[in-house]
Amino acid sequence: MSQPFPAIPHLSGNFAPILMECDAHDLPVTGELPRALHGTLYRNGPNPQFAPRDAYYHWFIGDGMVHAFHIEDGRVRYRNRWVRTHKFDLERSAGKALFGSWGNPATTDPSVSGQENGVANTNIVWHAGRLLALEEADLPVELDACDLTTRGNCTYGGKLSGAMTAHPKIDPITGELVFFAYAADGRFTNGMRYGVVDGDGRLVRLEHFDAPFSSMIHDFMVTSRHVLFPVLPLTGSMARATRGEPAYAWEPQLGAHIGILPRHGDVTQMRWFRGEACYVFHVMNAWEEGDRILADVMQYDEPPLFNPNAGGPGSRARLCRWTFDLDAGTDTFRRTWLDDMPGEFPRIDDRFATLPYRHGYFASRQREGSLPGTYDTLVHLDLTTGRRTVHALSEGDAISEPVFVPRSPDSAEGDGWLLATVFRGAEQRSDLVVYEADDIGSGPIAVVQLSHRVPFGFHGNWRPAN
């Protein structure tokens, strides 16, 4: 008999897992779904199947569950499935959790010591005919794009034996998937890996280098000619984990280190830029203007997670532009705040990834008392005019990361829709909402109703029908 989940914040409310997999063949819709909206929105997030073994549990470590909304001819069908990782299968057979938090050997059952414990719970991307469930510490896991059956670890013909970031970048010009991994030489080590998968799905590059220290590096930046690796002072330590403390901790005295590598160069050409301590979970976009690299990031002065002293405005992210002048003869970079509204989960029209862009979107938390990790407002920024447009949800509701879908392959930047899931707090269930991307202030043009919750998760992406 499995044990009940403890009543802690990250296992309560809409952070609590749903313990079923289901299909809905024709969901109710209010408003009208555009007929040109034809494809599938996938979302991924943590949904533990068993109560944790540790007293210390973090939202980031639950088993991955993928939610798929297929839209066609104004109708929507839905399916959710756990990702059948090696860890998931072992624990399903045992009927209980076997692995400690973050793989902590002190709380892991000896029967699975040293075994693969990835959860594939953070992102889901479509590239070169593969649907990949991702988390940053392990191999990608391939799923069937239609029925979400787990096909197994994706190793690109045995060429990839270690982790891939949860935030690879797909170059809209070359079709390449560019990725990295941290702790590449084992948990909490300084080693990093840089790789490229070409547009046909072949792993064509894999290189190793060392970071200044072991850091949780959730996201990175890619331009048409460079790759940027932000090594920020949220550090990892196995010694902390084995003492029963959080494995990650904020050590601001180490400062910020940004490694810049020519995209088609060698790791010996890496240049390290330095700055004051800050933290970034997510990048909006990065591009080049002559010899300058510009990167728009959601910057925290201090991270709200793994930092017991966090509090105040500095522990909420705001959109900041980092500018690196490669010919200035300095290892420093400039930071410019672009907007003062706090937010997270920044997204763009992905056809402009690695390129100059105009439109950005993110989720914001405006109501006092809302739980960290929850957002009640959708934001659109026009970075050319500086105009900000918002749509605030009803009290008790919470919105996910928005995903942009272009109206057509050749439509102008920002001409399309934003898709997100919304938790309805008063009804304890979720909706899929669709906005006109250039008019979010008017609210959703269509709302697709589920009869159950989609637990708070992380990232999603759109796969067009063609």
Which tens digits make up the pLDDT trace of 440-454?
A: 999 999 999 999 999
**Residues 102-124 as b or e (16 or more Cβ within 10 Å = b):** bbbeebbbeebeeeebbbbbbbb
Q: Is residue 189 packed enough to be buried (19+ CB in 10 Å), middle (13-18) or exposed (0-12)?
A: middle
Average pLDDT of span 39-44: 98
Q: From residue 418, how far is each of 204, 234, 400 by CA, in Å?
A: 33, 32, 11
Please name the helix (run of DSSP H) or strand (run of DSSP E) that holds residue 260, with its range, or none. strand 256-262
Q: What angle do CA 215, 220, 225 make, to 5 degrees?
A: 135
Range scoring the smallest mean pLDDT among 44-48, 69-73, 240-244: 240-244
Q: What integer pLDDT is reported at residue 267 of this predicted model? A: 95
CA distance 454 to 432: 10
Average pLDDT of span 235-252: 85
Query: Is residue 310 over pLDDT 80?
Result: no
CA distance 136 to 192: 12
- Side-by-side strand order, sheet with 256-262: 221-222, 226-231, 256-262, 271-275
Query: Is residue 112 over pLDDT 70?
Result: yes
Tens-place pLDDT, residues 284-305: 999 999 999 999 999 999 998 7
Tens-place pLDDT, residues 347-372: 999 999 999 999 999 999 998 766 67
Average pLDDT of span 384-405: 97
Q: What integer pLDDT is reported at residue 90 of this predicted model? A: 98
Pick the closest to residue 322 from 314, 311, 333, 330 (CA basis): 333
Q: Residue 319: beta bridge partners?
A: 298
Q: What pTM was estimated for this model as a whole?
A: 0.96
CA distance 233 to 252: 6
Mean pLDDT of the chain, nearest integer: 95
Query: Is residue 246 over pLDDT 80?
Result: no
Q: From residue 150, how far is each of 137, 327, 388, 434 by CA, in Å?
A: 18, 48, 41, 28
